[in-house]
């Protein structure tokens, strides 16, 4: 079950127009259809062909172009849009919309649409703080248009200040949260753990595992999009911090334990996706261990089973979900973990399958509940697995 939505991306004429290309790619990777409308000035910065190639849709610049199929384009796009996103939004387009001027395809489409509109302004800092621009922004905000604050920094003109287009990844994530209309987790506080933990040996070396964190991050993003307040306790990963999620970064088992315990009592649902190190070196060497020839004996001792500790503390009101990464006897091993760790659900995945699990964007899992009901899912994106986990929890409550 992937996420199908339509975004109309308006590009107005600023130097940051090229950054809108990254927004198109990122939205398309999430399965979202993107129709691009450019102003004539935008088309002087970046060619429509580039947007056409990335969006795989024809790009509209001139309102009076011959349409490919007979339809009144500003009306058809205005109706089709689940969200109109303007990146970058110049003082000009903001001013036009705020004052009811519809004299090109972008301003006309915005005017003719009932879809939410999200502007990402980018312009020279003096222009941005100009009271006329600020009044236009305030006016639009007061009637429900939304804005992404520009970032501060050195601008294309050499001036320094507010007016930079924020990171396209951030713009994409904010757009995704607006597109998502199912808010069935609203009011819930959800704690998710993700990624590996390290077990340090000396100042240089540590023991780790293959977990990329993608599964846990996807779960956190789904929970956020469905309206929950999310805390993500993350081991070391290369992933970007998801917008709108409180992230606590940790390294070791004991750091993860402390962060999880600090947030456990306040959480309604806890999903323990992290691949926590079960063993750590018996002693940590403060100085780098030198090679001494032959065999290096490294004694490992068992570390805390965090999920087991949570199962002991869990109240009837809390839902505790574990993961089980297994190479054999998947369902049987997973069921044993439900009982041993006092879980409500376990998400079991077979780590021997190709193209799923560690590092992949896909996973193939079974969701098992404590009363033995099993939902066997096909291979799907990790985001879709996150959706299915919450669907199962919501349905069974
Ligand atoms: N887990 C944990 N703390 C540990 C080990 C695991 O909290 N020290 C959690 C994981 O986050 C996961 C679940 O327990 O949700 C199962 O992890 P898994 O590695 O599959 O199982 P283990 O309990 O470690 O058992 P084994 O490695 O023997 O299969």
Query: Ligand 1 centroid vs 103 CA: distance in angstroms?
Result: 60
More confident site: 163 or 358:
163
Residues 242-272: tens digit of each pLDDT = 999 999 999 999 999 999 999 999 999 999 9
User: What ranges in the chain are assigned the alpha helix state H?
Assistant: 20-29, 42-45, 48-55, 73-80, 91-98, 105-111, 125-129, 131-142, 168-179, 214-225, 253-264, 306-313, 330-340, 382-396
pLDDT band, very low/low/confident/very high, at 396 (cuts 50, 70, 90): confident
Is pLDDT above 70 for 72? Answer: no
Note the pTM of the prediction, 2 decimals.
Answer: 0.86
3-class DSSP state of 33: strand
Of 80-89, 139-148, 150-159, 204-213, give the lowest mean pLDDT range.
Answer: 150-159
pLDDT band, very low/low/confident/very high, at 353 (cuts 50, 70, 90): confident
Per-domain residue ranges of the chain: 6-179, 189-396
- pLDDT at position 208: 96
CB 86 within 8 A of CB 93: yes
Q: Kindly name the residue from 56, 157, 339, 394 that is annotated as catalytic.
A: 157
Tracing tokens 């991050």 back to the chain, one arrives at: 217
Query: Ligand 1 centroid vs 276 CA: distance in angstroms?
Result: 6
Mark whether 208 is an active-site residue: no
Q: Tell the residue nearest (CA) to atom 4 of ligand 1.
A: 305
- pLDDT at position 356: 76
Is pLDDT above 60 for 68? Answer: no
pLDDT band, very low/low/confident/very high, at 66 (cuts 50, 70, 90): low
Is pLDDT above 70 for 3? Answer: no
Residues 166-186: tens digit of each pLDDT = 999 999 999 999 998 899 999
Whether 6-179 shares its CATH topology with 189-396 is answered yes
Mean per-residue pLDDT over the chain, rounded: 94
CB 93 within 8 A of CB 39: yes
Query: Which of 173, 175, 149 has its CA nearest to residue 162?
Result: 149
C-alpha span between 37 and 241 (Å, rounded)? 30
Query: Ligand 1 centroid vs 224 CA: distance in angstroms?
Result: 25
Q: Quick one: what percent of the chain has pLDDT higher than 70?
A: 96
Cα angle vertex 275, ends 270, 276, to 5°?
Answer: 85
Q: Tell the residue nearest (CA) to atom 17 of ligand 1.
A: 324
Query: Which of 58, 60, 47 has its CA nearest to residue 20?
Result: 47
Residues 87-122: tens digit of each pLDDT = 999 999 999 999 999 999 999 999 999 999 999 999
C-alpha span between 121 and 17 (Å, rounded)? 11
Task: Give, in words, the CATH class of 189-396.
Answer: alpha beta
DSSP codes, 194-209: ESB-BEESSSS-EE--
Cα angle vertex 164, ends 158, 167, to 5°?
Answer: 130
Which amino acids bring their CB within 6 angstroms of ligand 1?
A: 272, 274, 276, 278, 303, 305-307, 322-325, 337
- Looking from the CA of residue 278, the nearest atom of ligand 1 is 8
CATH number of 6-179: 3.40.50.1950
- For ligand 1, pick from 208, 233, 324, 365 the residue to mutate: most ligand atoms within 8 Å of CB: 324
Q: Which pair of tokens denotes residue 279? A: 């063993």
DSSP codes, 204-245: S-EE--S--SHHHHHHHHHHHHTT-EEEEEE-S-SPPPPTT-
DSSP codes, 336-359: HHHHHTT-SEEEEEETTSTTSSTT
Q: What is the CA radius of gyration of the chain?
A: 25
C-alpha span between 343 and 351 (Å, rounded)? 21
Phi-psi region of 386 (alpha: psi -120 to 50; beta: other; left: phi over 0): alpha
- Looking from the CA of residue 324, the nearest atom of ligand 1 is 20
Parallel, antiparallel, or unpaired for β 269-272 and 319-326?
parallel
Is pLDDT above 60 for 143? Answer: yes
Q: Tell the residue nearest (CA) to atom 24 of ligand 1.
A: 278
- For ligand 1, pick from 255, 280, 307 the residue to mutate: most ligand atoms within 8 Å of CB: 307
- pLDDT at position 1: 47
Query: Ligand 1 centroid vs 306 CA: distance in angstroms?
Result: 8
Report the number of secondary-structure helices (H) and strands (E) in the chain: 14, 21
Q: Tell the residue nearest (CA) to atom 20 of ligand 1.
A: 324
Mean pLDDT over 213-222 rounds to 96
- Looking from the CA of residue 340, the nearest atom of ligand 1 is 23
- pLDDT at position 75: 83
- Looking from the CA of residue 303, the nearest atom of ligand 1 is 8
Residues 266-316: tens digit of each pLDDT = 999 999 999 999 999 999 999 999 998 899 999 999 999 999 999 999 999
Query: Ligand 1 centroid vs 223 CA: distance in angstroms?
Result: 22
Query: Ligand 1 centroid vs 72 CA: distance in angstroms?
Result: 57
């Amino acid at each position: 079950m992937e996420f199908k939505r339509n975004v109309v991306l308006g590009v107005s004429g600023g130097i940051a127009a090229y950054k809108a290309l990254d927004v198109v790619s990122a939205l398309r990777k999430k399965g979202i259809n993107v129709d691009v409308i450019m102003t004539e000035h935008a088309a002087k910065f970046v060619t429509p062909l580039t947007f056409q190639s990335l969006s795989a849709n024809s790009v509209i610049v001139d309102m009076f172009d011959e349409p490919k199929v007979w339809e009144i384009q500003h009306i058809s796009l205005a109706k089709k849009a689940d969200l109109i996103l303007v990146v970058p939004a110049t003082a000009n387009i903001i001013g036009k919309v705020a004052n009811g001027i519809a004299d090109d395809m972008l301003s006309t489409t915005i005017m003719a649409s009932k879809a939410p509109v999200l502007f990402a302004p980018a312009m020279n800092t003096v222009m941005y703080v100009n009271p006329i621009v600020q009044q236009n922004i305030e006016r639009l905000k007061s009637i429900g248009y939304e804005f992404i604050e520009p970032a501060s920094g050195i601008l294309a003109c050499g001036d320094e200040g507010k007016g930079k287009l924020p990171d396209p990844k951030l713009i994409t994530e904010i757009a995704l949260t607006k597109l998502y209309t199912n808010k069935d987790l609203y009011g819930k506080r959800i704690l998710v753990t993700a990624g590996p933990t390290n077990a340090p040996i000396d100042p240089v070396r540590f023991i780790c595992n293959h977990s990329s964190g993608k599964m846990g991050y996807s779960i956190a993003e789904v929970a956020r999009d469905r309206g929950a307040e999310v805390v993500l306790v993350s081991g070391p990963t290369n992933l970007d911090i998801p917008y709108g999620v409180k992230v606590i970064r940790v390294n070791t088992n004991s750091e993860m334990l402390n962060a999880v315990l600090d947030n456990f009592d306040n959480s309604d649902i806890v999903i323990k996706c992290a691949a926590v190190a079960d063993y750590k070196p018996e002693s940590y060497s403060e100085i780098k261990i030198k090679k001494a020839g032959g065999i290096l004996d490294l004694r490992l001792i068992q570390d805390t089973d965090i999920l087991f500790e949570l199962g002991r503390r869990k109240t009837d009101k809390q839902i505790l979900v574990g993961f089980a990464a297994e190479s054999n006897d998947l369902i049987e091993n997973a069921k044993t973990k439900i009982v041993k760790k006092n879980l409500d659900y376990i998400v079991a995945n077979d780590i021997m399958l190709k193209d799923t699990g560690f590092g992949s964007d896909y996973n193939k899992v079974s969701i098992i509940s404590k009363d033995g009901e099993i939902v066997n899912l096909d291979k799907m994106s990790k985001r879709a697995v996150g959706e299915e986990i919450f669907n199962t929890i919501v349905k069974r409550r």
